[in-house]
């Protein structure tokens, strides 16, 4: 459950900055701060650092199911009275153990006072709930190439323009420890389980005669286009060529990212 598409604000509060596979990196601790204790930390302050999730719950919307009549959870309920009761119970559980204030913001719930219908999300998030039932992207629907969505994340990040493009469109995927954990996986494999870290509109091919990917991670005000094609057979040995181009000069085979807010083409891989 998340009220915001970014699944933010999200922080970790700890006195042991470690992951399952290693310690926090200096980059992760760069924005750390020492914060006052919670009611249950025995008057000990805590280190607060930006948190990272393995997936984004916003992609599923707010879901409520009747497990007796719908054990496979195929038909989400939209019932304001029932949702209000459940949201109130959740809010009570947040207040009892002194949950961080930012959790109320992330979940769209009041830090004090009663939960009202204005806090309910099933109606506004029903499109995500429906979209989350779609099957994952099929590998055969995407062209192959050394810098395609079939390539390991490690290879894409090793390429200067590859890293820039990924950071432009998939920041949540690269922040925190996830990039190291999934370094050997392709973007397609990551999209199949790390739901929400790769926007759904960026993980499926577009209709014929249009760019294979259409990304709109920032909402209606922004439209980005990611075109994934096989690497050019004419690419120089040891790597693909990176250069500036205009839309009219695009070759037949390329990987191109263009922010169409101003129509200015970005560097692409030929």
Helix segments in 23-125, DSSP class H: 26-29, 80-95, 101-107
pTM for this model (two decimals)? 0.66
The percentage of the chain sitting over the pLDDT mark of 70, rounded to a whole number, equals 73
Sequence-distant (≥ 6) Cβ neighbours of residue 13 within 8 angstroms = 35, 38, 46, 47, 48, 100
Give the pLDDT confidence of 212-254 residue by residue, as tens digits.
Answer: 333 443 333 333 333 333 333 333 333 333 333 333 333 332 3
Kindly tell me the number of DSSP H helices and DSSP E strands found in the chain.
9, 10
User: What average pLDDT does this structure show over 167-195?
Assistant: 82
Give the pLDDT confidence of 1-16 residue by residue, as tens digits.
Answer: 888 888 899 999 999 9
DSSP string covering 163-210: HHHHHHH-HHHHSTTHHHHTTTSBHHHHHHHSBTTB-GGGSSPPPTTS
User: What average pLDDT does this structure show over 156-178?
Assistant: 83
Look at the alpha carbons of 171, 175, 180, 185 in this order and tell me if their dihedral is positive or negative: negative
């Amino acid at each position: 459950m998340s009220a915001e598409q970014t699944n933010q604000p999200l922080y970790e509060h700890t006195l042991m900055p470690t992951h399952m596979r290693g310690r926090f990196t200096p980059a992760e601790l760069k924005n750390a701060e020492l914060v006052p204790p919670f009611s249950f930390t025995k008057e000990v302050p805590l280190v607060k650092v930006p948190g990272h999730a393995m997936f984004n719950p916003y992609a599923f919307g707010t879901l409520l199911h009747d497990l007796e009549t719908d054990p496979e959870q195929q038909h989400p309920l939209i019932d304001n009275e029932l949702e209000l009761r459940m949201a109130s119970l959740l809010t009570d559980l947040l207040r009892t153990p002194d949950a961080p204030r930012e959790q109320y913001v992330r979940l769209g719930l009041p830090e004090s006072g009663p939960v009202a219908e204005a806090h309910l999300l099933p109606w506004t998030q029903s499109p995500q709930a429906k979209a989350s039932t779609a099957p994952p992207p099929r590998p055969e629907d995407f062209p192959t190439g050394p810098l395609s969505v079939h390539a390991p994340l490690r290879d894409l990040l090793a390429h200067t323009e590859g890293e820039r493009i990924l950071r432009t469109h998939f920041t949540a995927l690269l922040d925190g420890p996830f990039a190291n954990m999934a370094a050997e996986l392709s973007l397609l494999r990551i999209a199949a389980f790390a739901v929400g870290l790769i926007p759904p509109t960026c993980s499926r091919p577009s209709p014929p005669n249009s760019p294979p990917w259409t990304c709109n991670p920032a909402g209606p005000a922004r439209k980005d286009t990611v075109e994934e094609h096989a690497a050019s057979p004419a690419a120089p040995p040891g790597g693909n060529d990176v250069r500036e181009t205009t839309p009219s000069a695009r070759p037949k085979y390329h990987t191109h990212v263009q922010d169409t807010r101003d129509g200015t083409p970005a560097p692409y891989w030929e």
